[in-house]
């Protein structure tokens, strides 16, 4: 019996080829001969998203570059731990390794960039100065790393600078920004109000629970139709943010007699930021999960005396309150604590 694969002449009665192990009874064997086919959709997706190709290429690239050995080499020659920990403050590591000149250069360079950052915090210039401070900081860190790993080529230096900046950003700046954004997040006023103008920058504490008397930033969407007199109709619309004081907490009973505000029967210690346009008569009980914040600073509402309008516009849900606005930092001429 001759093998169909290799042509070897086998003994009669053999089931497999003695040379290549091919089955000799293959011609009559029960084997599916129709190949699997790919659908047009899967072919399309394979063409558009060549995942398999990318996987194999990445794998072979990693294998060719011997990444594991490179990582081992890099970690073995990294700066010592005390030096790495001191990278938090630019220049500190340089002082530690007795390089005071560089230390002073980086430290004061960083401070020089950080001060305008705080002065212009929340504005475009503030972001630019913050970027410059970050670049000084990453340069200081890169300088330390380069001193520990000398003799690198241009490509290695570029890669190293990217890695150092990324680590610094992820480890230090991102958590710091998250922290600062929580309790002192800058907020630029977007619309002209009676009390604030467009472009003013306020610091907002988003983590603090709202309390009576605090000035808060909140989302304010209001749309109503008024009928002040016979045959007259007026539509009041407002959508956006507003900043005003919390006058009453959930469940409080509020009365306003001839412009005098009473909370639960006793005179209120707090007034809205712009107390002049208040209506003469108001009486309501603040619903649960709502706060009474009269929108006294909204230009469209400031002149209206309709009590119902004020009551319906003043009940603000807890979800709409962004946070406590406590400091105006821009423009610098109007720097003040908001009370």
Name the site residues for another protein (rule: CB under 8 A): 4-6, 20-23, 26-29, 31, 33-38, 43, 46-47, 50, 52-57, 60, 63
Q: How far is the CB of 61 from another protein (least distance, A)?
A: 11
The residue among 23 and 279 lying less far from another protein, judged by its C-beta, is 23
Measure the CA–CA gap between 149 and 21, rounded to whole angstroms. Answer: 58
Q: How far is the CB of 28 from another protein (least distance, A)?
A: 8
The residue among 50 and 251 lying less far from another protein, judged by its C-beta, is 50
Q: How far is the CB of 48 from another protein (least distance, A)?
A: 13
The residue among 55 and 207 lying less far from another protein, judged by its C-beta, is 55
The residue among 43 and 339 lying less far from another protein, judged by its C-beta, is 43
Measure the CA–CA gap between 111 and 109, rounded to whole angstroms. Answer: 5
Helix (H, G, I), strand (E, B) or coil at 134: helix
The 8-class DSSP code of residue 18 comes to T
Buried b (16+ CB within 10 A) or exposed e, 1-22: eebeeeeeebeeeeeebeeeee
The radius of gyration computed from the CA coordinates of the chain, to the nearest angstrom, equals 36
Q: How far is the CB of 9 from another protein (least distance, A)?
A: 15
Question: If 0-12 CB within 10 Å is exposed, 13-18 middle and 19+ buried, where does residue 248 land?
Answer: buried
Q: How far is the CB of 66 from another protein (least distance, A)?
A: 14
Q: Give the DSSP H or E segment for 243.
A: strand 234-245
The residue among 33 and 209 lying less far from another protein, judged by its C-beta, is 33
């Amino acid at each position: 019996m001759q093998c169909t694969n290799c042509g070897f002449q086998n003994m009669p009665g053999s089931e497999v080829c003695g040379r290549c192990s091919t089955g000799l009874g293959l011609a009559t064997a029960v084997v599916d001969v129709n190949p699997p086919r790919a659908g047009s959709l899967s072919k399309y997706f394979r063409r558009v998203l060549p995942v398999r190709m990318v996987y194999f290429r990445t794998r072979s690239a990693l294998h060719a570059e011997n990444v594991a050995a490179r990582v081992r080499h890099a970690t073995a020659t990294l700066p010592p731990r005390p030096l790495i920990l001191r990278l938090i403050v630019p220049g500190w590591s340089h002082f530690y390794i007795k390089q005071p000149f560089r230390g002073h250069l980086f430290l004061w360079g960083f401070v020089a960039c950080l001060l305008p950052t705080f002065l212009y915090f929340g504005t475009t210039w503030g972001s630019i100065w913050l970027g410059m401070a970050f670049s000084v900081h990453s340069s200081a860190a890169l300088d330390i790393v380069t001193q520990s790993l000398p003799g690198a080529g241009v490509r290695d230096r570029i890669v190293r600078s990217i890695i150092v900046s990324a680590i610094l950003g992820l480890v230090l700046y991102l958590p710091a920004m998250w922290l600062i954004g929580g309790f002192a997040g800058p907020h630029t006023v977007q619309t002209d109000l009676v009390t604030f103008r467009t472009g003013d920058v306020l610091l907002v504490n988003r983590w603090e629970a709202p309390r009576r008397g605090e000035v808060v930033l909140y989302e304010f969407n209001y749309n109503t139709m008024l009928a002040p007199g016979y045959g007259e109709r007026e539509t009041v619309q407002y959508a956006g943010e507003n900043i005003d004081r919390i006058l009453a907490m959930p469940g409080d009973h509020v009365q306003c007699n001839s412009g005098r505000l009473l909370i639960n029967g006793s005179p209120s210690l707090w007034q809205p930021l712009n107390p002049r346009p208040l209506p003469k008569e108001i009486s309501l009980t603040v619903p649960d999960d709502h706060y009474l914040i009269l929108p006294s600073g909204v230009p469209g509402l400031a002149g209206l005396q309709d009590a119902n309008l004020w009551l319906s516009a003043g009940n603000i849900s807890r979800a709409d309150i962004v946070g406590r606005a406590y400091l105006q930092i821009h423009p610098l001429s109007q720097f003040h604590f908001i009370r």
